[in-house]
Copies of this chain bind each other. A is one copy, B any other.
């Protein structure tokens, strides 16, 4: 995109109603209006175009971007760091191991203590059902209260870097990939996307990716097909979100019991392992009870149960069932690739290899999506600020 293209996109951004994102958090995509989702996408694209044109996107002269990862992360960690850096914020990671967080110290206290110069807080807390989203809300309310009380001089906005319910930076990056692949959001109507479970030799993968995908992709008039073995349900409230979205957008949402059915004539397939909702709920309870033996037994049972569905694998044969055998294969990465990262996994090596470059491109949207989320939460009038950046002509590299 050249500068004229950027300017046009900025102007089209200005026509969207997204002012409620100002000084607000990004928890769940379904909290956001269609205009807000679209505006976030546009800001991401504009920031990317500015950077590609070697134009500075540095809007903060100083300020911190706090991160808190309660689960391992490479992709999201680096994406968040990249997003913060391109806007001028410095990462400060809260390593709960190295911190003096007293036994019983309230979330409210910790949240305020780390936020005196925080403009944004990014959190990953995806391990336990009923926990992550709740925790993020508590952090958000705490710093908002701190701001109202005059403890904090700015209101830090919160970005959900994966919780128990949604993984919006992933699903929005996936959305950007789909929009660009199909040449525009207007081309998604009537396309079929298959979000399907797939076998993996690992246990306890979060539900937030499938939930995020059906919760978001149901907004664009697509036919969303969710497939999983019996018992591998996602959270019922997210299914409800998908159903409501589909109705409103003129698409459909249905649940099927086989990959074959989901893949049939699909334009997009997203085969990925996850743990059953009921198992995740049980795990949360056992963790609360400190029942280590119970947890081990549960894991064992979970892995055994997974093994019944080893044939849930995205094979070349299955891919042939998709629209013209040519569906867009997607994954949040890292994938469990048969014969590469494990004996039997989510996807056949040849399928993965064929889609490697698109998969990496899919991932490349995440830094910009996160940057856009931060940007929208920090500027009342984002299009003005983006125009200012464009016109300033400051270089990213001298």
Interface string of A143-185 (1 = CB under 8 A from B): 0001001111100000000000000000000000000000000
Q: Is the CB of A357 within 8 A of B59?
A: no
On whether A74 and B101 interact (CB within 8 A), knowing A109-B333, A333-B113, the answer reads yes
Interface string of A94-106 (1 = CB under 8 A from B): 1000111111111
The CA-CA distance from A86 to B388 in the complex, in Å, is: 23
User: What interface size band does chain A fall in?
Assistant: 35 or more
- Specify the chain B residue showing the minimal Cβ separation from A90: B85
- Specify the chain B residue showing the minimal Cβ separation from A371: B117
Q: Is the CB of B114 within 8 A of A340?
A: no
Residues from chain B with Cβ under 8 Å of A102 in the complex: 334, 336, 341
Within 8 Å by CB of A151, from B87, B116, B364, lies B364
The CA-CA distance from A63 to B214 in the complex, in Å, is: 34
Interface string of A27-62 (1 = CB under 8 A from B): 000000000000000000000100110001111111
The CA-CA distance from A261 to B98 in the complex, in Å, is: 38
The CA-CA distance from A151 to B334 in the complex, in Å, is: 16
The CA-CA distance from A81 to B149 in the complex, in Å, is: 23
On whether A52 and B90 interact (CB within 8 A), knowing A103-B341, A360-B146, A396-B63, the answer reads no
The CA-CA distance from A86 to B64 in the complex, in Å, is: 9
Q: Is the CB of B334 within 8 A of A100?
A: yes
Residues from chain B with Cβ under 8 Å of A119 in the complex: 397
Q: Is the CB of B51 within 8 A of A56?
A: no
